[in-house]
Amino acid sequence: MGEDRQAKLFGTDPHKLHRKNAVDTSVAAAHLVDTTKDEAKVFMLIKSTGAHGATLKELAGAMGKDKSSFSGRISALLAKKLVVDMSDYEPDPNISRRDGCRVVVAKEHVPVAD
């Protein structure tokens, strides 16, 4: 994916990454996070799983990071409608959840109902 297209699809305003009354160090840290790169990485990983999708635990394992370090990137991708929470499409928790986590799928891989 080209950098120009990536910059248009991905990235979250740093002001959305900290509380309004956050201390200066939290504000500074929010401005250091490369959400464009991180969101693109998470999206490509989710997309690579196809219709099977991925959970936060699975993504954390694949990326070798703690879940909390990028759970916000999944929320951003959901808000941008680039990925979907399968519970919005599949009421059966055996399909829409795995290992206690919601399953997210790239929008283009959402199974179409028969």
Residue 99 or residue 53, greater confidence:
53
Residue 15 counted as domain residue:
yes
pLDDT of residue 105: 94
Residue 84 counted as domain residue:
yes
**CATH number of the domain where residue 23 is located:** 1.10.10.10
Mean pLDDT of 80-89: 90
Residue 40 counted as domain residue:
yes
Q: What does the alpha-carbon distance between residue 39 and residue 60 come to, in Å, rounded to a whole number?
A: 13
Residue 97 counted as domain residue:
yes
Q: What is the pTM of this model?
A: 0.80
Q: What does the alpha-carbon distance between residue 14 and residue 29 come to, in Å, rounded to a whole number?
A: 9
How does pLDDT run across 36-64, given as a tens digit for each residue? 888 999 999 999 999 899 999 999 999 88
Residue 105 counted as domain residue:
yes
How many domains in the chain?
1
Residue 101 counted as domain residue:
yes
Q: What does the alpha-carbon distance between residue 39 and residue 36 come to, in Å, rounded to a whole number?
A: 5
- Could you list the residue range(s) of the whole structural domain that residue 10 is in? 3-109
Residue 114 counted as domain residue:
no
How does pLDDT run across 1-36, given as a tens digit for each residue? 555 555 578 887 777 767 788 888 877 876 777 778
